[in-house]
Structure 1
Amino acid sequence: MKDSYNIKTFNKISEKGLSLFSNNRYIFDTDCISPDIILLRSEKLHDYKFSKNLLAIGRAGAGTNNIPVAMLTKLGIPVFNSPGANANAVKELVLAGILISARNIIQAHNYVKALGGNEDQVNKSVESSKKDFVGFELPGKTLGVLGLGAIGVEVANMALNLGMKVIGFDPMMTVDRAWQLSSGVGQAKDLNELFSLSDIISLHVPSNEQTKGMVNKDLLSKMKSDSIVLNFSRQEVVDKKSMIDSINSSLISKYVTDFPSPDYISNQNIICLPHLGASTIEAEENCAIMVCNNIIDFIENGNIHFSVNLPEAKLSRKNNERIVITNANVPNMVGQISTCLAKGSINIADLINISKDDVAVTIIDIDGKLNQSLIKNISSISGILSVRLLPPLS
């Protein structure tokens, strides 16, 4: 374990998170060319040249499509994020999006701002024109939630409390999220049913190959003509041309998105916000605190929590040296590591091996001390991606 670690930050990270790093061990250097730790929000790292010193990357937010996760996985470097830390902020903005679209608030506001004349003339104009902005109330309307992760569950539960009917669809929903979801939320059997039954659709899915362009003309054509779609997840999940065509041909009524595009801005029935989903003081603090705490736990204990590319792995610390290994998820890997330790007369005090897809994490507490020769032997095993040695707790 090193005496100190260099941290490079991109974007503005909340001080409440950064202050968790002890001053005598962690050094912040925005100009560092070979950092041990990288912290960021929206900075794109696909063209960034990573140094051999890099141990971990922390994204103070949920999405990691700005980070070359697959490449870092091959290097055994964990990419941490903070799912759920911004859930309340996004949930509140979804509610705002529902209300401004259901009650035609943007159009009404723009109308009033364009009025001229004295007070009597303005009042007369308002009274004669307010019928043009009649909207609808939420109780009894059906909200369809696509994606029931941390944010989707919050949105679904909120809508129920507003008197709405709620149905959801998420074939990848976790047991933990299912426990958090109200029993009043119905389950759609597929996307077609979700879109056909909903007055309002709220999207909460990640951006990946499976979700890219998921919301297309075919799905939108299943909706009612006065329906609304809200996208506070990722721009790529909505096919842009399909959405514009559906709005222009009145297949749906409005689209509210947190991801502006030049193709959207001039359309009066598309409401664009400047990526405000997690832009609250509280969300920025929560995201930073979560990701910084998890990076510290990884650096000092080897534990992995909320990494997008490595499995959850936690082994309680005792006063032993600890080896933290990232390896390919292939047969006999633990056996080869154990044999290597046995040849060096090193006894294993405790061990866990957890896998996720093609990669695994092996954490081993040992009796005695490991020398550099043994570390080199373990590192040379085919399929080993990274090896770190942590000293006993002081």
Structure 2
Amino acid sequence: MQGKIAITPRSLSQAGHPALSNLTDAGFELVYPNPGKTPSETDLLDVIPDCVGWLAGVEPISRKVLDAAGGLRVISRNGSGVDNINLADAEARGIKVERIIGANARSVAELAVALLMAATRHIPWSDAHLRSGDWQRRVGFELKGRTLGVVGCGAIGRQVSEMALGLGMNVIGYDPFPNNDFAPAGFRFGALDDIWRSADAVTFHCPPSDTPILDSGVIEALQPGTIIVNTARAGLIDDIAMLDGLKSGQVGCLATDVFHSEPPEMTPLLAHDRVILMPHAGGLTAESVERATRGAVDNILKVLEQK
């Protein structure tokens, strides 16, 4: 046996995946700190000290865990985000951090557009009322001719933009490092203030920020009834300001796939009837899991089999 490899993404630790056999075929033993659930720091401390590799999900990786990981050589994310890992701490301990760029871009983009359409036509609200025997209807609106603001125009944001353009929308994109080669008809780059003033809906596809991007001042600047879609990070939005925006009608709907903790506590914001919830499933499609898992496994073997 060449050593142990921890598997912590919830989808993989519960259901497994054929690509994981590439690790066992190479002589590694797979260990699962908390199958099907996000492992706690205690769960990680129980297994990581004995591991040479780690196929990691979005669980927080603390300095205490890294300090205990004396033999760990690689952390391989099954996605592109690494904000759950202190890269400097990992590098200082000689731990290589690998990630998969763009593996889940299509699946997250499709969910963002699905959430946008669910919000415009009140689909979850209508379904819930009908199931309870209550026939009610809310007036929706068509997306053609409307403006979508896309905050973050990397692999996901660009695909969302293309889908929105296909629906007849106009798109304003913001990115601190705009790729000016991306210039389809109906799309333009703009400043954040431009998005806040002009957009009928805003979707987030950017890294986390030190403070919320969508705070009370920004919400006041939005067009009344703006739809907000967040498949990026919960910390991008000020929860108190968002709840106030929903109550006042300044925000028409919040559709979110991300939370401060998972599973989340049902706060007044999340319980609001104009909030649509998804259980962080943006990358959870068969195709995305296939791409991300095989890529993450390949990255582990690339590092561990180096001579």
| TM-score where L is the length of structure 1 | 0.66
1:33 aligns with 2:31: no
Name the counterpart of 1:259.
Answer: 258
1:153 positional shift: 0.9
Name the counterpart of 2:288.
Answer: 283
Q: 1:43 aligns with which of 42, 59, 70?
A: 59
1:300 aligns with 2:302: no
Contact 2:151 2:204 in 1 (8 A): yes
Name the counterpart of 2:222.
Answer: 223
Distance 1:262 1:162, change over 3 A: same
SS in 2 for 1:42: coil
Q: 2:133 aligns with which of 111, 115, 122?
A: 115
Contact 1:37 1:54 in 2 (8 A): yes
1:5 positional shift: 4.0
- Percentage of matched positions with identical amino acids: 27
The letter for the 1-side match of 2:99 is N
Which of the pair has more CA radius of gyration?
1
More helix by share: 2
1:324-380: per-residue Cα shift (whole Å, max 9, x none)? xxxxxxxxxxxxxxxxxxxxxxxxxxxxxxxxxxxxxxxxxxxxxxxxxxxxxxxxx
The letter for the 2-side match of 1:67 is I
The letter for the 2-side match of 1:60 is N
Name the counterpart of 1:195.
Answer: 196
**Structure 1 stretches of 5 or more lacking a match?**
117-125, 302-389
The letter for the 2-side match of 1:239 is D
1:159 aligns with 2:161: no
Contact 2:242 2:269 in 1 (8 A): no
1:239-280: per-residue Cα shift (whole Å, max 9, x none)? 111111111122221111113551323211222222121122
1:69 aligns with 2:67: no
SS in 1 for 2:276: strand
Partners of 1:111 and 1:160 in 2: CA distance: 32
Distance 1:50 1:286, change over 3 A: farther
Name the counterpart of 1:119.
Answer: none
Distance 1:112 1:24, change over 3 A: closer
1:138 aligns with 2:143: yes
1:182 positional shift: 3.2
The letter for the 2-side match of 1:250 is G
Name the counterpart of 1:172.
Answer: 177
1:92-150: per-residue Cα shift (whole Å, max 9, x none)? 1112111111011122222212227xxxxxxxxx5xx54xx111111101010000111
Contact 1:97 1:230 in 2 (8 A): yes
1:207 aligns with 2:208: yes
Paired residues, what number? 281
Name the counterpart of 1:343.
Answer: none
The letter for the 2-side match of 1:204 is H
The letter for the 2-side match of 1:220 is I
1:163-215: per-residue Cα shift (whole Å, max 9, x none)? 11111000134x5xx54663542111x21111111000000111142xx3111
Q: 1:17 aligns with which of 16, 19, 23?
A: 19
